[in-house]
Chain A
Amino acid sequence: MIAGSVFYWIVFIGTALTAIFAAVMVITRRSPIHSAMFLILNFICIAVLYLLLNSQFIAIVQVMIYAGAIMMLVIFVIMLLNVEEEEQQKMHASPAKVIGVVLVLILFAQLIYGVGVQVLPGEWGEFTPERMARIGDIKAIAGLLFTKFLFPFEIASILLLVGIIGAVILSKKER
Chain B
Amino acid sequence: MIELVWLIPLFPAIGFLFNGLIGRWFNLDKRIVSWVACFALGLSFLFSILIFFALLKLSPEARAVVPDRVLFDWIVSGGLKTVVGYKVDPLSIIMALVVSGVSFFIHIYSVGYMHDDPGYTRYFAFLNLFVFMMLTLVLANNFLLMFVGWEGVGLCSYLLIGFWFDRDAPANAGKKAFVVNRVGDFGFLLAMFLIFAHLGTLEFNGVFDGAHSLDIVTVTLITLLLFVGAAGKSAQIPLYVWLPDAMEGPTPVSSLIHAATMVTSGVYMIARCNILYTMAPVSMATVAIVGAATAIFAASMGLLQFDIKRVLAYSTISQLGYMFLAVGVGAFSAGIFHLMAHAFFKGLLFLGAGSVMHAMSGELDMRNMGGIWKKTPITFWTFLIATLAIAGIPGFAGFFSKDEILWQAFSSSHGHVYLWLVGAVAAGMTAFYMFRLVFVTFLGGCRATDEVKKHIHESPSIMTVPLIVLAVLSVIGGYVGIPHVLGGRNIFHEFLAPVLGGHPEGTAHAAFSLVKSAFASGGAAEGSGINMELLLMGVSVAIAIIGIGIAFYLYILKPEVPKRLGERLKILYTIVFNKYYVDEIYEACFVKSTKKLGTFFWREFDDGVIDRSVNLVGGLMLWLGRVLRRIQTGRVQGYALGIILGAVIIIIFLIR
**Chain A residues within CB distance 8 Å of chain B:** 96, 99-100, 103-104, 106-107, 110-111, 113-114
Contact in complex: B652, A110 (CB < 8 Å): yes
Q: Out of B638, B640, B648, B654, which one reaches A106, CB within 8 Å?
A: B648
Kindly list chain A residues whose C-beta atoms are within 8 Å of the C-beta of B597: none
Proximity bits, B629-643, A CB within 8 Å = 1, else 0: 000000001101100
Give Cα distance in the complex from A114 to B648, angstroms.
Answer: 12
Contact in complex: A99, B641 (CB < 8 Å): yes
Distance from A110 Cβ to chain B, minimum over Cβ atoms (Å): 5
Besides A96-B638, A100-B637, A110-B648, 17 other A-B contacts (C-beta < 8 A): A96-B637, A96-B641, A99-B641, A100-B640, A100-B644, A103-B641, A103-B644, A103-B645, A106-B648, A107-B644, A107-B647, A107-B648, A107-B651, A110-B652, A111-B651, A114-B654, A114-B655
Kindly list chain B residues whose C-beta atoms are within 8 Å of the C-beta of A113: 655
Nearest 10 CB-CB pairings of A with B: A110-B651, A114-B655, A103-B644, A100-B641, A107-B648, A106-B648, A103-B645, A103-B648, A107-B644, A104-B644
Distance from A125 Cβ to chain B, minimum over Cβ atoms (Å): 24
Give Cα distance in the complex from A114 to B640, angstroms.
Answer: 22
Kindly list chain B residues whose C-beta atoms are within 8 Å of the C-beta of A103: 641, 644-645, 648
Kindly list chain A residues whose C-beta atoms are within 8 Å of the C-beta of B655: 110, 113-114
Distance from B647 Cβ to chain A, minimum over Cβ atoms (Å): 6
Give Cα distance in the complex from A1 to B157, angstroms.
Answer: 104
> In the complex, what residue of chain B is closest to A111 when comparing beta carbons?
B651
Kindly list chain A residues whose C-beta atoms are within 8 Å of the C-beta of B651: 107, 110-111, 114
> In the complex, what residue of chain A is closest to B633 when comparing beta carbons?
A96
7 contacts between A and B (CB under 8 A): A96-B638, A100-B640, A103-B648, A104-B644, A110-B652, A114-B651, A114-B654
> In the complex, what residue of chain B is closest to A99 when comparing beta carbons?
B641
> In the complex, what residue of chain A is closest to B641 when comparing beta carbons?
A100
Q: Is the interface of A mostly helix, strand, loop or mixed?
A: helix
Kindly list chain B residues whose C-beta atoms are within 8 Å of the C-beta of A107: 644, 647-648, 651
Give Cα distance in the complex from A99 to B644, angstroms.
Answer: 11
Kindly list chain B residues whose C-beta atoms are within 8 Å of the C-beta of A114: 651, 654-655
Distance from B124 Cβ to chain A, minimum over Cβ atoms (Å): 69
Distance from B632 Cβ to chain A, minimum over Cβ atoms (Å): 14
Distance from B55 Cβ to chain A, minimum over Cβ atoms (Å): 82
Give Cα distance in the complex from A113 to B648, angstroms.
Answer: 13
> In the complex, what residue of chain A is closest to B650 when comparing beta carbons?
A110
> In the complex, what residue of chain B is closest to A110 when comparing beta carbons?
B651
Distance from A84 Cβ to chain B, minimum over Cβ atoms (Å): 22
Distance from A7 Cβ to chain B, minimum over Cβ atoms (Å): 35
Kindly list chain B residues whose C-beta atoms are within 8 Å of the C-beta of A100: 637, 640-641, 644
Give Cα distance in the complex from A114 to B651, angstroms.
Answer: 9
> In the complex, what residue of chain B is closest to A115 when comparing beta carbons?
B655
> In the complex, what residue of chain B is closest to A118 when comparing beta carbons?
B655
Distance from B651 Cβ to chain A, minimum over Cβ atoms (Å): 5
Give Cα distance in the complex from A104 to B644, angstroms.
Answer: 7
Give Cα distance in the complex from A8 to B276, angstroms.
Answer: 109
Distance from B648 Cβ to chain A, minimum over Cβ atoms (Å): 5
> In the complex, what residue of chain A is closest to B644 when comparing beta carbons?
A103
Distance from A38 Cβ to chain B, minimum over Cβ atoms (Å): 21
Kindly list chain B residues whose C-beta atoms are within 8 Å of the C-beta of A99: 641
Kindly list chain A residues whose C-beta atoms are within 8 Å of the C-beta of B637: 96, 100
Give Cα distance in the complex from A104 to B641, angstroms.
Answer: 9
> In the complex, what residue of chain A is closest to B647 when comparing beta carbons?
A107
Distance from B491 Cβ to chain A, minimum over Cβ atoms (Å): 95
Give Cα distance in the complex from A103 to B637, angstroms.
Answer: 13
Give Cα distance in the complex from A96 to B644, angstroms.
Answer: 13
Distance from A112 Cβ to chain B, minimum over Cβ atoms (Å): 11
Give Cα distance in the complex from A107 to B644, angstroms.
Answer: 8
> In the complex, what residue of chain A is closest to B645 when comparing beta carbons?
A103
> In the complex, what residue of chain B is closest to A100 when comparing beta carbons?
B641
Distance from A32 Cβ to chain B, minimum over Cβ atoms (Å): 16
Give Cα distance in the complex from A30 to B640, angstroms.
Answer: 21
* B641, B652, B654 interface centre (most CB from chain A within 10 Å): B641
Distance from A143 Cβ to chain B, minimum over Cβ atoms (Å): 34
Give Cα distance in the complex from A107 to B645, angstroms.
Answer: 9
Which B551-597 residues have a C-beta within 8 angstroms of A? none
Give Cα distance in the complex from A111 to B647, angstroms.
Answer: 11
Kindly list chain A residues whose C-beta atoms are within 8 Å of the C-beta of B654: 114
Distance from A46 Cβ to chain B, minimum over Cβ atoms (Å): 22
Distance from B412 Cβ to chain A, minimum over Cβ atoms (Å): 97
Distance from B656 Cβ to chain A, minimum over Cβ atoms (Å): 11
Give Cα distance in the complex from A142 to B644, angstroms.
Answer: 36
Give Cα distance in the complex from A100 to B636, angstroms.
Answer: 13
Give Cα distance in the complex from A60 to B645, angstroms.
Answer: 35
Kindly list chain A residues whose C-beta atoms are within 8 Å of the C-beta of B652: 110
Proximity bits, B438-460, A CB within 8 Å = 1, else 0: 00000000000000000000000
Kindly list chain A residues whose C-beta atoms are within 8 Å of the C-beta of B638: 96
Distance from B359 Cβ to chain A, minimum over Cβ atoms (Å): 87
Give Cα distance in the complex from A110 to B651, angstroms.
Answer: 7
Distance from B630 Cβ to chain A, minimum over Cβ atoms (Å): 12
Distance from A88 Cβ to chain B, minimum over Cβ atoms (Å): 16
> In the complex, what residue of chain B is closest to A113 when comparing beta carbons?
B655
Give Cα distance in the complex from A126 to B616, angstroms.
Answer: 67
Give Cα distance in the complex from A113 to B654, angstroms.
Answer: 12
Give Cα distance in the complex from A113 to B641, angstroms.
Answer: 22
Distance from B331 Cβ to chain A, minimum over Cβ atoms (Å): 94
> In the complex, what residue of chain A is closest to B640 when comparing beta carbons?
A100
Proximity bits, B380-409, A CB within 8 Å = 1, else 0: 000000000000000000000000000000
Kindly list chain A residues whose C-beta atoms are within 8 Å of the C-beta of B641: 96, 99-100, 103
Distance from A91 Cβ to chain B, minimum over Cβ atoms (Å): 13
> In the complex, what residue of chain B is closest to A106 when comparing beta carbons?
B648
Give Cα distance in the complex from A107 to B641, angstroms.
Answer: 12
Kindly list chain A residues whose C-beta atoms are within 8 Å of the C-beta of B645: 103
Kindly list chain A residues whose C-beta atoms are within 8 Å of the C-beta of B644: 100, 103-104, 107
Give Cα distance in the complex from A104 to B648, angstroms.
Answer: 8
Kindly list chain A residues whose C-beta atoms are within 8 Å of the C-beta of B648: 103, 106-107, 110
> In the complex, what residue of chain B is closest to A114 when comparing beta carbons?
B655
Give Cα distance in the complex from A95 to B640, angstroms.
Answer: 15
Give Cα distance in the complex from A70 to B648, angstroms.
Answer: 29
Give Cα distance in the complex from A149 to B647, angstroms.
Answer: 29
